Amino acid sequence: MVRSRLMLSALLCAVSPFSFAQTATGYSFERSYPTAQTTQAVRNDADFQRAMTAYRFWYPTVSVEGVFNGNRELGIVDGESWGMAAAGPRQVGFTLNSDTPYGSAVIDLSQGPVVIELPPGSYIGLVDDHNQGWVQDLGLPGPDAGKGGKYLVVPPDYKGEIPKGYYAATSPSLKNLFAVRALPVGGNVPRALDALRAIKIYPLSSAAHPKLLKLVDTSDKPMDSSSLRWESNLQFWEVLHRIIEQEKIVPQFLPMYGLLAELGIEKGKPFNPDARMSEILERAAKSGRDQMLVSAFDSARPDRLNWPDRKWEWVGLTPGSAQFETPAGMDLESRDRWFAQAIVTSPAMFRRSAGAGSLYWMAVRDGGGAFLDGGKNYKLTIPQPVPGKLFWSVTLYDAETRSQVQTDQDKAALRSLFELRDVPTDAPVDLYAGPTAPAGAQGRWIKTTPGKGWFAYIRIYGPESAAFDKSWKPGDFEQVK
């Protein structure tokens, strides 16, 4: 009996997957201990998986630093000046548009609270923190509702008194993005630019005699306010390390700081990855970027479609949220999808109700289901009237840069206030996109570049109920032979 038990034990050991064999993962173990080759492979795989998770989580942080960097490259200094532009294709930035002039500022709270003073007017503005977390809305979607007011952005752990008469919000970061648009009512862009000039930004400490940030007009200057140069290489991690060094620790993000520490990025310590870790981080940046682009342009989510018989998709998949939150937790697919192609978040941006500030639909495919191709000509039919109280537009974006298409036409949008101003609103209008101008419709055409993929946004400002109840729907892009 004893001999039989010993034979059975020896047999079990011989067939154990952990003894001189490979596990289901392909790793080799010896007497349940990993071999030297397995240890190295497991460490590489674990670090790569950590880096992939960290990349996607911290992408918005690095992306907003691209906005800050674009301003700085044009001589706009944090805490001293801010910029505005009547944007066009020359301004590279994730899904920026030509519909409304923009203003943007780094709100630096390192010396205390900062005031943003809006006069009455048609402004749509927000403040997001250094991680693109929502801090507050301003203007039409904010508490002043277009009547104007004084907003106060307060630094983390601030112990001072908050004065009365301000719409105050505390940010978890020292550097913040103030982004604002002035709606060009009636197509009057100069008046909208003047409205941006009327905004005042200054430290609260100088409120008695405001020390205003200087406004710089960058409308005619080429600008790159994206993270494109960093997003697929080791620079992504170098930029992220600099931000971690500059900023306060956000308590809610402690597990994600832990991931970074395993990768060699830790506040108060130098970032000096060796050859092994550099290769892993570079590979993770490329793969992480690619995964986010799949979420953006080839998602299988059925809720992305507004009409079952159209290819137009919702850009934001978590309506009404501020940070992609749902009752079940954070919608990571929606978060990846948004930040791969856009910047800044706010509950106002994802509302799906009549009277919301604006809504966005995206097309990446034609009516037959093929990705939109810069070498082909297309027609898009828009039924009229479009259900928007203010105005609407169609804008084309380069799929690689997620910025407005750049051609010698120097135009990327067709807008109801400008190019389409004289188009009758009682009949459908045909718009065109492609490398060749359509005969007799050059004014309703956007040029594209062969060899480049592109996608489109429809924007409706002041959307009405027909934009949400499916009683109105645009055509798809249809190829013109």
Average pLDDT over every residue of 229-253: 97
**Whole-angstrom Cα distance, residue 179 to residue 129?**
11
Co-location of 316 and 278 in the same domain: no
Say if residue 197 is in the same domain as residue 339: no
If asked whether residues 319 and 291 sit together in one domain, one would say: no
Q: How far is CA 178 from CA 54, 60, 270, in A?
A: 26, 15, 30
Distances (CA, A) of 330 to 273, 302, 345: 31, 18, 14
Asked if residue 394 is part of any domain, the answer here is yes
> Average pLDDT in the 184-201 region?
95
Q: Within this chain, do residues 286 and 338 fall inside the same structural domain, yes or no?
A: no
Task: Average the pLDDT over 368-383 and give the result.
Answer: 98
Tally of domains within the chain: 4
399 and 471 inside one domain: yes
Residues 137 and 275 in one domain: no
The whole-number pLDDT of residue 87 equals 83
Instruction: Name which residue leads in pLDDT, 351 or 14.
Output: 351
Give the chain as a 3 state SS string.
CHHHHHHHHHHHHHHCCCCCEECCCCCEEECCEECHHHHHHHHHHHHHHHHHHHHHHHHHHHHHHHHHHHHHHCCCCCCCEEEEECCCCCEECCCCCCCCCEEEEEEECCCCCEEEEECCCCEEEEEEECCCCEEEEEECCCCCCCCCEEEEEECCCCCCCCCCCCEEEECCCCEEEEEEEECCHHHCHHHHHHHHHCCEEEEHHHCCCCCCCEEEECCCCCEECCCCCCCCCCHHHHHHHHHHHHCCCCHHHHHHHHHHHHCCCCCCCCCCCCHHHHHHHHHHHHHHHHHHHHHHHCCCCHHHECCCCCCCEECCCCCCCCCCEECCEECHHHHHHHHHHCCCCCHHHHCCCCCCCEEEEEECECCCCCECECCCCEEEEECCCCCEEEEEEEEEEECCCCEECCCCCCCCEEECCCCCCCCCCCCCEEEEEECCCCCCCHHHEEECCCCCEEEEEEEEEEECHHHCCCCCCCCCCEECC
CA-based radius of gyration for the chain: 26
Mean pLDDT throughout 210-224? 95
Residue closest to 478 by CA, chosen among 376, 402, 408, 339: 376
Mean pLDDT of 414-441: 96
In a domain, 69, yes or no: no
- Give the structural domain span for 253: 49-62+230-295
Q: Per residue in 167-178, pLDDT tens?
A: 999 999 999 999
What is the per-residue pLDDT for 296? Answer: 97
Tens of pLDDT, residue by residue over 252-269, are 999 999 999 999 999 999
Predicted local distance difference test score (pLDDT) of residue 8 = 34
Residues 400 and 436 in one domain: yes
Is residue 438 located within the same domain as residue 348?
Answer: yes
Span 1-55, pLDDT tens digits: 444 443 333 333 333 333 445 555 678 888 889 999 999 999 999 999 999 999 9
User: Of the residues 295, 312, 345, which one is the last residue of a structural domain?
Assistant: 295
- Which domain CATH number covers 254? 1.10.3360.10
Distance CA 238, CA 230 (A): 9
**Residues 140-160: pLDDT tens digits?**
999 999 999 999 999 999 999
Q: What is the mean pLDDT of residues 453-465?
A: 95
Do 141 and 186 lie in one domain? The reply is: yes
pLDDT of residue 350: 86
User: Taking 70 as the threshold, does the pLDDT of residue 227 lie above it?
Assistant: yes
Q: Read off the pLDDT of residues 268-294 as tens digits, 9 standing for 90 and up.
A: 999 999 999 999 999 999 999 999 999
- The Cα 26–Cα 34 span in angstroms is 11
Residues 82 and 203 in one domain: yes
For residue 214, pLDDT beyond 90 = yes
pLDDT, tens digit (0-9, with 9 covering 90-100), for 48-104: 999 999 999 999 999 999 999 999 999 999 999 999 999 899 999 999 999 999 999
* Mean model confidence pLDDT for the chain: 93
> What's the whole-number mean pLDDT along residues 348-352?
86
Same domain, yes or no: 256 and 210: no
Note whether 329 and 434 are same-domain residues: yes
